[in-house]
């Protein structure tokens, strides 16, 4: 592969006794957007600050086009720094300068361009970001979204080869957030700068990133393309990309999928040694995807949550259940046989038919039939996970149904 534009090699950094980075390795390639994601306070901004030299590593090296930063001469460093722009999380606009003066500042201070040329370049950016109306206003007089645009215009006016974005979308409403991400992606295509973005807007940033690095526990456990990220088995990565589902699972009390997968593997090993048996139940909500498309996202999630919460009510402390895919839940009952699973299913079946969600009159606008299926599998002999799921699925039968018969809004 080509040489990275910036490379972190075993970079460690501590503040007093607090270690923030521990032998971090990271590659940033030219002409791409690299997103650094991670929880708050794990050192994402510290990474960015190392690139612009606001912080220096305790050990390890940062290479720029293969050359260590520590070996840069003063002139080289100045030239490198001038090719960078940094977009701050809170924009850091100069509040006593107008929008025009803010965007013009790097040109006025750093270049010997004649005033007409500066005006021309700034006016071009102002037009590009549709800021003509607020040209002579001060940052405090314009909206947050406009401030972001001014910050982006200021970052771009020097035509940098690399822009560092420190949480460009934090604190924005979903519409503005999309607009900012769209803007970054659009201008990246147009101008072709290298972008490094610190963010926790998952999964939105994946759509505009060429590469993603996850920082967790002082290290970078994963870096690669968003596609590779999705295919990764790493548990931390899984939690990041399924952030929304994790939240819902926490609300419903479901266990994380990797945890249940591990449990099943452990149980399968014990089954192989004839130490125990266990039973799994695979629940599926049929046509949940259809409901999502036709009735709405919230309705589909409510139905899922309802199932999860009812299930949790009848499970014991020893039992586990996790979301498998968007419309399936796998319940694992260690040490139990099929009869206990049967019992649980019966209870869920009678509970579900009394639920408000199963009442077709509640779906006045669009109503779509759906049913709840459950398949029991008593595991007495070793098998792999895929066979287990397939067998459980084969055993599935309908345990509850919602039919739209007679409702006017039926689709």
Partner 1 sequence: MNASRTEKALSIMGLVNWLGQVTLKVIGELGAVAIFFAYGFVLIFTYPFQFRKIIQQVYFIGVKSFLIISLIGLFTGMVLGLQGYYTLVKFGAEGMLGAAVALSLIRELGPVLTALMVIGRAGSSIAAEIGIMRISEQIDALDTMDINPMKFLVSPRIAASVITFPLLTALFDVIGMIGGYLTGVLLLGVNSGIFFNRIYDSVVLKDVTGGFLKSLFFALVVSTICCYQGYFTHMRPGGFGAKGVSLATTSAVVISCVLVLVLDYVLTSFLL
Contact residues toward partner 1 (CB under 8 A) are: 52, 54, 78, 81-82, 84-86, 88, 90, 92-96, 105-106, 109-110, 158
Closest CB to partner 1 among residues 52, 371: 52
Closer to partner 1 by CB, 81 or 293: give it.
81
Instruction: Give the nearer residue to partner 1 in terms of CB position, either 48 or 260.
Output: 48
Cβ closest to partner 1, residue 110 vs residue 274: 110
Smallest gap from Cβ 195 to partner 1, in A, equals 15
**Residue 35 or 85 having the CB closest to partner 1:** 85
CB of 161 to partner 1, least distance (A): 14
Three-class SS string for the chain? CCCCCEEEEEEEEEECCEEEEEEEEEEECCCCEEEEECCCCCCHHHHHHHHCCCCCCCEEEEEECCEEHHHCCHHHHHHHHHCEEEECCCCCCCCCCCHHHHHHHHHHHHCCCCHHHHHHHHHHHHHHCCCHHHCCCCHHHCCHHHHHHHHHHHHHCCCCCEEEEECCCCCCCHHHHHHHHHHHHHHHHHHCCEEEEEECCCCHHHHHCCEEEEEECCEEEEEECHHHHHHCCCHHHHHHHCHHHHHHHHHHCCECHHHHHHHHHHHHHHHHCCCCCEEEEEEEEECHHHHHHHCCHHHHHHHHHHHHHHHHHHCCCCCEEEECCCCEEEEEEECCCHHHHHHHHHHHHHHHHCCHHHCHHHCCCCECCEEEEEEEEEECCCCCHHHHHHHHHHCCEEEEEECCCCCCCEC
Provide, rounded to whole angstroms, the least separation between the CB of residue 160 and partner 1.
10
Q: Smallest distance from the beta carbon of 80 to partner 1, in angstroms?
A: 10
Instruction: Give me the least distance between CB of 110 and partner 1, in Å please.
Output: 6
| Cβ closest to partner 1, residue 79 vs residue 127 | 79
Minimum distance from residue 345 beta carbon to partner 1 (Å): 57
């Amino acid at each position: 592969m080509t040489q990275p534009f910036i490379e972190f090699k075993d970079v460690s950094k501590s503040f007093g006794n607090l270690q923030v980075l521990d032998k971090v390795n990271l590659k940033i390639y030219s002409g791409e957007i690299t997103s650094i994601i991670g929880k708050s306070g794990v050192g994402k901004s510290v990474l960015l600050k190392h690139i612009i030299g606001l912080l220096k590593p305790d050990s390890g090296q940062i290479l720029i086009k293969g050359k260590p930063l520590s070996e840069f001469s003063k002139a080289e460093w100045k030239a490198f720094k001038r090719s960078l722009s940094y977009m701050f999380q809170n924009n850091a606009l100069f509040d006593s300068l107008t929008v025009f003066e803010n965007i013009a500042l790097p040109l006025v201070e750093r270049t010997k361009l004649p005033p007409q040329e500066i005006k021309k370049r700034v006016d071009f950016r102002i037009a590009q970001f549709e800021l003509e109306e607020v040209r002579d206003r001060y940052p405090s007089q314009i909206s947050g979204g406009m401030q972001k645009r001014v910050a982006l215009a200021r970052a771009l006016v020097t035509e940098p080869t690399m822009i560092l974005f420190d949480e460009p979308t934090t604190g924005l409403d979903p519409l503005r957030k999309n607009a900012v991400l769209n803007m970054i992606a659009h201008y990246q295509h147009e101008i072709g700068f290298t972008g490094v973005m610190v963010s926790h807007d998952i999964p939105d940033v994946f759509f505009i990133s060429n590469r993603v690095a996850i920082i967790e526990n002082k290290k970078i456990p994963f870096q690669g393309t968003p596609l590779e990220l999705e295919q990764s088995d790493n548990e931390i990565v899984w939690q990041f990309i399924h952030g929304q589902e994790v939240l819902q699972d926490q609300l419903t009390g479901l266990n994380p999928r990797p945890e249940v997968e591990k449990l099943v593997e452990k149980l399968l090993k014990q089954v192989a040694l004839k130490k125990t048996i266990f039973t799994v139940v695979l629940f599926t909500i049929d046509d949940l995807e259809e409901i999502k498309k036709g009735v709405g996202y919230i309705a589909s999630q409510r139905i899922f949550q309802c199932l999860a919460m009812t299930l949790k009510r009848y499970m014991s402390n020893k039992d586990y259940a996790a979301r498998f895919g968007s419309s399936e839940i796998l319940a694992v009952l260690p040490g139990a046989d099929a009869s206990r699973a049967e019992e649980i299913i019966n209870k869920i079946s009678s509970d579900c038919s009394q639920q408000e969600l199963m009442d077709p009159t509640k779906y006045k606008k669009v109503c779509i039939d759906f049913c709840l299926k459950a398949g029991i599998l008593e595991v007495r002999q070793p098998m792999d996970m895929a066979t287990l799921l397939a067998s459980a699925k084969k055993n599935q039968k309908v345990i509850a149904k919602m039919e739209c018969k007679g409702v006017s809004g039926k689709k």
